[in-house]
Amino acid sequence: MAGQQGRFQAPPRPKNALDEFKLRLSCPPVQGATKPGSWAISLVANNPRIDVYTNVPNDKNNGNIRGAMDMPTFYLLIEMMRKAITLDDNQVLKLQNLNHVFFGGERSAEPKLISTTLVGRDKDGVLFLACVAKDRPYLKFNMLPTNYHVMIDVNGEPMNKREASNYFLAGYANMLENMMAAVAAVNYTEPKPKDNNGGGNNYNRGGNGGGGGNNYNRNNNGGGGGGGQRNNDWGGDGAGTGGGADSFGDDDFPM
């Protein structure tokens, strides 16, 4: 008990419809795992996020790879899913998820790449989702019906995987679009007051941005340098409060 004194334990968040277990996607075990990997979409403090659980022994962050987003970015991801249906084999769309990181208690001056969300079509024509991070296991979630359902084409034959995945991803995108709106409407959380140490909310488009590249210079840095405080820059769930978040190449994932 003595070791627990002074340690803050956040209360569990209220559950909502997105926490339904059957909404999760799964994939075969990888890298010595004995359990399938999973993909879950949730809404936490008004912000959507992806949580991939690798179930790989001794994996970082208790096996969690997170894609933190704000609400507009989540709906951008929905549109990426719809666009992915038009992709050719071995093509992929990517959404990079950035946040500030902390080293030695110091907040990074610029957002760092934390994870990348992939929406693509593999070499076999099957659509898939993934959320990848530097030096972490790669889990690929194929967009296909479960073993309890078989799609039949107009000729009375089982539908090929390419076409079936088109239907499945379209339905998955529609489901998420509607469920997220419904859940967000009835689960609003009042944001905690922020101090003014950092200039407050900065919504300048086309500002100094820094870092070059396609960062779009949309500075939604709500609160600035708040020491060790949880930061809401890209989804507000503390996804960036760890090491190993430097930019990485994610082009070598298997299709």
- Report yes or no on whether pTM surpasses 0.85: no
> How many domains does the chain contain in total?
1
Q: Which domain holds residue 114?
A: 9-186
* Domain presence at residue 101: yes
In this prediction, residue 238 has a pLDDT band, given cuts at 50, 70 and 90, of very low
pLDDT digits (tens, 9 = 90+) for 8-53: 677 888 899 999 999 999 999 999 999 999 999 999 999 999 999 9
- Residue 251 pLDDT class (50, 70, 90 cuts): low
Q: Which two tokens stand for residue 11?
A: 């209360």
Does some domain include residue 157?
A: yes
Residue 120 domain flag: yes
Let me know if residue 3 belongs to a domain. no
pLDDT of amino acid 196: 56
Residue 163 has pLDDT above 60, yes or no: yes
Position 44 in a domain: yes
pLDDT score for 194 = 76
pLDDT of residue 216: 52
Would residue 240 count as lying in a domain? no
Question: Domain for residue 203, yes or no?
Answer: no
- In tens, the pLDDT along 85-113 reads 999 999 999 999 999 999 888 999 999 99
Indicate if the pLDDT at residue 198 is higher than 50. Answer: no
The pLDDT value recorded for residue 235 is: 33
